[in-house]
Amino acid sequence: MRYWLMKSEPDEVSFEDVLAAPGKTVAWFGVRNYQARNFMRDAMSVGDGVLFYHSSCAVPGVAGLAEVASSPYPDESQFDPASHYHDPKATREQPRWISVDVRATEQGRYVPLSELRSVPALENMVLLQKGSRLSVSPVSAAEWKAIVALVRGKGA
């Protein structure tokens, strides 16, 4: 099992939206970074843990826990000319971008970025590295354990 941090702008899809969705599951779409896409396409497996992270908002942070709920499949938004995520170079025969489904598993306590920065066990976390802007990044087992403890209100 692997662990991931996946960023979503809460105005687009919030953790509350996922909790309210049928089966508490949504398609993770709109990833337009090759490294993040490759993580989703080549390294994610059904059942992997996900830190659902709210970004580009007043207080960014971990909003809840989730899991990868599907194998990768073509991101439909790349084919839609009306979509903000449309990619005119993508074709159904050769899609460039993929999606996975993500299922909410636990809401817990919201853990702001400022708090994550204060936890010594997270000092090497990809999210906290200067210049890191990936929307999907790997999380080590130790980082996962520390953040799950924070989400559950038990400290790191």
Overall pTM surpassing 0.75 (yes/no): yes
Rounded CA-CA distance 52/145 in Å is 14
Share of the chain above pLDDT 70, in %: 99
Exposure class string for 124-135: b at 16+ Cβ within 10 A, else e: ebebeeeeeebb
Structure tokens given for 70 = 């599907």
Is residue 156 one of the residues assigned to a domain? no
Domain count across the chain: 1
CB 147 within 8 A of CB 3: no
- Under the banding of pLDDT at 50, 70 and 90, the label for residue 132 is confident
- Domain membership of residue 135 as a residue range: 3-151
CB 135 within 8 A of CB 6: yes
β-pair partners for 27: 101
Is residue 102 one of the residues assigned to a domain? yes
CATH number at residue 111: 3.10.590.10
- Decide if pLDDT at 156 tops 90: no
Residues 6 or more apart in contact with residue 15 via CB below 8 angstroms = 8, 52, 54, 63, 64, 66, 104, 107
CB 63 within 8 A of CB 52: yes
Supply the Cα-derived Rg of the chain in whole angstroms: 15
Share of the chain above pLDDT 90, in %: 96
Is residue 23 one of the residues assigned to a domain? yes
- Decide if pLDDT at 45 tops 80: yes
Q: pLDDT per residue over 48-99, tens digit each?
A: 999 999 999 999 999 999 999 999 999 999 999 999 999 999 999 999 999 9
Is residue 48 one of the residues assigned to a domain? yes
